C-alpha cells in the first residue's frame, strides 16, 4: 500500500513568524534562474484571514502568503542572514475572489515566483523585487508584485535612531468602530477608531494582537496598514462588497508612539485611495479596488 504524502510548514524563522499557526508556506524548489515554485496551505478558519462566515479566504491571506515567499527566498536562495531586518517597500496584489472559496479541506495553493532587480552591496544581495502567480486547483487566484529590502542589525539600529522594542512606548488604542462596519466579527480586530471627520480615522495599534504582532516590533507592520486600508474601504462604501486588489507603497516607518491617521483621498464605485500620515508626513499610500459585482 502506498504511504501518504507528509506535509509540514517551513521553519517559521524563515518567514519571520513566531507562531507555526501563522506560517503558511510548506515547501519550495528552484525551477530556473531566479525562478521558484512554492507550496502553501491555507486554514479553513482564521481570526483575520477567513471571512466571519468561513465561506471565503480573505485577500490579505494571499498578501501575507506572498510576503512570506520573499522572506523565505531571501534566506534560502539569496544569502540573507536570519538576523537581518526586513522592510516591505511596495506591494501590489490582484485577487479573483470567485476562486477564494473555502472548501471541504485546507486549500493548498502553488505559487510561482520570478525574482528580478536584485540589488547588492559588497557583492551580497540586499533587496529584490518579485512577481508571484498564485494558483489553486489549476485556477489563477491572484497575482502579486513585491519589493523588499533587508539590512544588518547594526545598520537598522542607526536607521531607527535608538528606537527599539524596549524603548518605544506604544500609544493606548482609542475606541473602535463597530466591528460590522468594517467587515470584522471581533472588536479586537478593528483597527480604526470612530472618524475624526468623514473619511479620516485614527489607526488603532494593539501590540498584543496575535496576528499583526505575532512577535514584538518597534514599528507598525505593513500588514496592519493594509488592513487599515481594507477597513477604510469597507467603512466608506458601507456595503457587503469585498476588496479585491491593493497597490501599496510604504514610504517610511510608521511609529508606535505617534498617532497614525488613515484618510480616504478619493473614491468612486470601483475603489478608493487611502493615505496614512504621521505628524503631517505620509507613511504609506494604498489604492484599494473593489471586487467585481
pLDDT at 153 over 90: yes
Domain termination site, one of 115, 132, 158: 158
197-218: b or e for each residue (b if 16 or more CB lie within 10 Å)? eebebbbbbbeebebbbbeeeb
Residue 131: per-residue pLDDT:
98
* Domain count of the fold of the chain: 2
Q: Give the pLDDT confidence of 123-137 residue by residue, as tens digits.
A: 999 999 999 999 998
CA–CA distance, 274 with 282 (Å, rounded to integer): 11
Grid coordinates representing 224? 496592519
**182 in the same domain as 81:** no
Q: How far apart, in Å, do the first and last CA atoms of the chain sit?
A: 48
User: Residue 293 — very low, low, confident or very high, per pLDDT cuts 50/70/90?
Assistant: very low
144 and 32 share one domain:
yes
Whether 6 is in a domain gets the answer: no
CATH of the domain at 57: 3.10.129.10
| pLDDT at 65 > cutoff 70 | yes
Check pLDDT > 50 for residue 36: yes
277 alpha carbon, distance to own chain's centre: 19
Q: Is there a single domain that holds both residue 82 and residue 117? A: yes
Based on the domain organization, do 146 and 216 belong to the same domain?
no
Domain carrying residue 231: 162-290
Amino acid at each position: 500500500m502506498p504511504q501518504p504524502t507528509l506535509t509540514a510548514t517551513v521553519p517559521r524563522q524563515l518567514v519571520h513568524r513566531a507562531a507555526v499557526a501563522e506560517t503558511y508556506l510548506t515547501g519550495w524548489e528552484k525551477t530556473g534562474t531566479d525562478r521558484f515554485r512554492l507550496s502553501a496551505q491555507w486554514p479553513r478558519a482564521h481570526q483575520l484571514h477567513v471571512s466571519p462566515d468561513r465561506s471565503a479566504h480573505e485577500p490579505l491571506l494571499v498578501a501575507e502568503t506572498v510576503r512570506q515567499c520573499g522572506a523565505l527566498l531571501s534566506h534560502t536562495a539569496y544569502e540573507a542572514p536570519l538576523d537581518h531586518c526586513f522592510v516591505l517597500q511596495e506591494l501590489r496584489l490582484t485577487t479573483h475572489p470567485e476562486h477564494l472559496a473555502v472548501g471541504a479541506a485546507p486549500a493548498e495553493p502553488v505559487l510561482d515566483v520570478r525574482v528580478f532587480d536584485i540589488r547588492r552591496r559588497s557583492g551580497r544581495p540586499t533587496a529584490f523585487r518579485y512577481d508571484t502567480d498564485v494558483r489553486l486547483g489549476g485556477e489563477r487566484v491572484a497575482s502579486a508584485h513585491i519589493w523588499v529590502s533587508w539590512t544588518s542589525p547594526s545598520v537598522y539600529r542607526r536607521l531607527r535612531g535608538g528606537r527599539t522594542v524596549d524603548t518605544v512606548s506604544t500609544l493606548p488604542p482609542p475606541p473602535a468602530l463597530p466591528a460590522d462596519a468594517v467587515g470584522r466579527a471581533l472588536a479586537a480586530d478593528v483597527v480604526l477608531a470612530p472618524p475624526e471627520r468623514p473619511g479620516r480615522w485614527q489607526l488603532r495599534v494593539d501590540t498584543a494582537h496575535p496576528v499583526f504582532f505575532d512577535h514584538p516590533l518597534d514599528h507598525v507592520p505593513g500588514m496592519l496598514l493594509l488592513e487599515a486600508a481594507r477597513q477604510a474601504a469597507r467603512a466608506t462604501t458601507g456595503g457587503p462588497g469585498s476588496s479585491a486588489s491593493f497597490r501599496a507603497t510604504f514610504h517610511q516607518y510608521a511609529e508606535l508612539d505617534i498617532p497614525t491617521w488613515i484618510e480616504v483621498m478619493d473614491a468612486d464605485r470601483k475603489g478608493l485611495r487611502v493615505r496614512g500620515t504621521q505628524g503631517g508626513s505620509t507613511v504609506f499610500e494604498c489604492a484599494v479596488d473593489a471586487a467585481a459585482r
